[in-house]
């Protein structure tokens, strides 16, 4: 599923980046995957996915 349509970033890409690099903040996540750079509508959902994935590690 696409989370960031502007940059074609999927939930799988976010989950993979979280598992591999364990980002703690949205800035750290955005350094790993290019989301939230245009309209910003994806930020809230991306944060939720990051939190979920970190909890499952
Ligand atoms: Fe992510 Fe627009 S959907 S910046």
Residue pLDDT tens, the chain, 57 long: 999 999 999 999 999 999 999 999 999 999 999 999 999 999 999 999 999 999 998
Mutate which of 9, 36, 46, 49 for ligand 1? The one with the most ligand atoms within 8 Å of its CB, which is: 36
> What whole-number distance in Å separates Cα of residue 23 and Cα of residue 30?
9
Enter the tokens of residue 31. Answer: 């350094």
Residue 3 pLDDT: 98
CATH of 2-56, one of 3.40.50.1400, 1.10.10.1100, 3.40.50.300, 1.20.1540.10: 1.10.10.1100
Residue spans per domain, the chain? 2-56
Write out 20-44 in H/E/C secondary structure.
Answer: HHCCCCHHHHHHHCCCCCCCCCCHH
Residue 2 pLDDT: 98
For 52, the enclosing helix (H) or strand (E) is: helix 43-56
Residue 1 pLDDT: 97
Mutate which of 2, 4, 8, 30 for ligand 1? The one with the most ligand atoms within 8 Å of its CB, which is: 4
């Amino acid at each position: 599923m696409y989370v960031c349509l502007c940059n074609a970033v999927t939930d799988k890409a976010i989950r993979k980046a979280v598992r591999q690099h364990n980002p703690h903040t949205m800035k750290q996540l955005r350094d790993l995957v290019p989301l939230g750079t245009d309209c910003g509508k994806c930020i809230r959902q991306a944060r939720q996915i990051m939190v979920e994935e970190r909890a499952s590690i």
